[in-house]
Amino acid sequence: MNNYERTAIIEQYLDGELQGGDLEKFELQALTDKELKQDLFLQSEIRKVLADKEAFELRVKLNTIHNNYQKEKKNVRKKKPVLTYTFITLSILIVVFVFFIFDSKLSNDELYEKYYKHYSSETITQSSELSTDNNYINALRIYERKQYNDAINLFDKIPENSPFYNSKEYYSGLSYMELQNYEEAIKHFNIVIKSKNNLFIENAIWYSALCYLKIDKTQLAIEYFKKLLNEDSTFKKEAGEIIEEIEDGSKK
């Protein structure tokens, strides 16, 4: 019997796999075969050590788990008040946030940013292609390129007797708005409004109102917005919303 065969049969014996005659034969041989007896003893002891080691490691693991569990329990007990206070604090913050959102009013600057939209001259430019006034056409094109100072310089060259005078005043006002010179913009819009009988009056009133809003002349802004509340106004809805926002805000 070689070493491999001896080890294999010892493993079978220790595992309880030998039965009947094979078991009797092995036990008898272990009594007479000194080498087999020593190997059997050695492997048996090795198994005990391994079993003890595994049991020890298992106990260590179980103790570690138990200790960690106890620590977690203590931490949970300690953290309960903290968690309670945290929950209360978060609840208060949520209530304050909701109150702020629903109770706060928009500032004049915020209203301006919400409702102001750049006015495009594209349609006017296309319809003016047949005009012999190159200053007017070029000014509109430059306005569309957002070169507002250059556009204003060209608009200024258009005389009062020009058929495009009201139009150039309107676009001059828009250009000044884009340059954030709201006082100057209002002057040009007022020229359009006072001249009457032109296509830009309603727009000039709307943008004048926004300018007054931006420079915090709120009452003047409201007066101009109210002019747009008639049934035919393009800006009726927006003007009404702004007036409502301002008046509701003043009551809070």
The pTM of the full predicted model, rounded to 2 decimals, is 0.57
Highest mean pLDDT, choosing among 91-100, 114-123, 166-175: 166-175
pLDDT digits 0-9 by tens, 52-77: 555 555 555 555 665 565 565 555 55
pLDDT of the residue at 9: 85
- Give the mean pLDDT of 212-229: 96
Domain 111-251 -> CATH class: mainly alpha
Q: How confident is the model at residue 41 (pLDDT cuts 50, 70, 90)?
A: confident
Cα dihedral across residues 122, 126, 129, 130: positive or negative: negative
Q: How confident is the model at residue 99 (pLDDT cuts 50, 70, 90)?
A: very low
CB 130 within 8 A of CB 138: no
Cα 11–Cα 8–Cα 25 angle in degrees, nearest 5: 80
Q: How confident is the model at residue 1 (pLDDT cuts 50, 70, 90)?
A: low
Q: pLDDT higher for 37 or 138? A: 138
Domain boundaries, the chain: 3-92, 111-251
From CA 152, how far away is CA 168, in angstroms rounded? 9
- Give the mean pLDDT of 2-15: 82
